[in-house]
Amino acid sequence: MLADRIENIGSGELSEGVEIDASIKAVIEFIETHFSHFSEKVKGEITASEKALTDKLCKYLNRVAEPYPFYFHHENVEDPSSGISAQTDIGTLSTDEQITVGDRHYNEFDSFFSIEAKRLPTPGHNREREYVIGHQKPNGAIERFKKGIHGRNLNYAAVIGYVQNEDFDFWFLKVNGWIEELIKTSPTEWMDDDKLRKMAESNDQLAKFESDNIRIPAKSSSDKIRLFHFWITLVN
């Protein structure tokens, strides 16, 4: 099992109270540790595009993940059988031909933990809220996981944020404010659990949150995906 092979490799610390599959926990701890280090490499890039930053991030993560039994793939195709499949910004794949996470099996071409990236703020006309929801199109990071456009077969995934203006507290209040507005206008689709919760104390480089996001449409009240949110600041 991936988690068994990672046991003797140093990693970060996940916040207390999160009981998840050991393989997922290993990847989350890895991302938490190394995403924070990545911020030092892109400090000051306050106008860099999301695609350029994520391309650099994926290359960086793969370089430092060399001893680990997983790797990262930029613009991972969600449905290889479709020529018009959506692409997740970064997929996480096992170096083994198969991995079991909980009660689900993933083969060598399946991402078992997907990552979507967004700039804060998202530039462009009517795109300000794309961390949460898109304008006329389902381009929002949280929205795409809720609707199964990304991570349809996953219980856990991540959204990373590149803060290029303001600070973590500003965006925490802003993002949750957008979700609160959606709760008022679409109460059957958006709920309090969709809001970001602080996982632990943030530092100057990294902020950590989580949310339990109900699927749209939901099969039951427990039909959710847990998202881990990691933000770095590029502001000097």
- Residue 18: the pLDDT is 39
In sign, the C-alpha dihedral spanning 41, 45, 46, 50 is negative
Q: Is the pLDDT of residue 101 over 90?
A: no
pLDDT classification of 222: cutoffs 50, 70, 90: confident
Mean of pLDDT values over 179-188: 97
Average pLDDT over the chain, rounded to whole? 89
Number of neighbouring beta carbons within 10 Å of residue 211: 23
pTM of the model: 0.90
Task: Centre a 10 Å sphere on the Cβ of residue 114 and count the other Cβ atoms it contains.
Answer: 25
Confidence tier at 82 by pLDDT (50, 70, 90): low
Beta-carbon contacts of 140 under 8 Å, excluding residues fewer than 6 positions away, are 129, 130, 131, 132, 133, 134
pLDDT of residue 22: 87
Q: How confident is the model at residue 110, as a pLDDT?
A: 92
Q: What is the mean pLDDT of residues 24-38?
A: 94
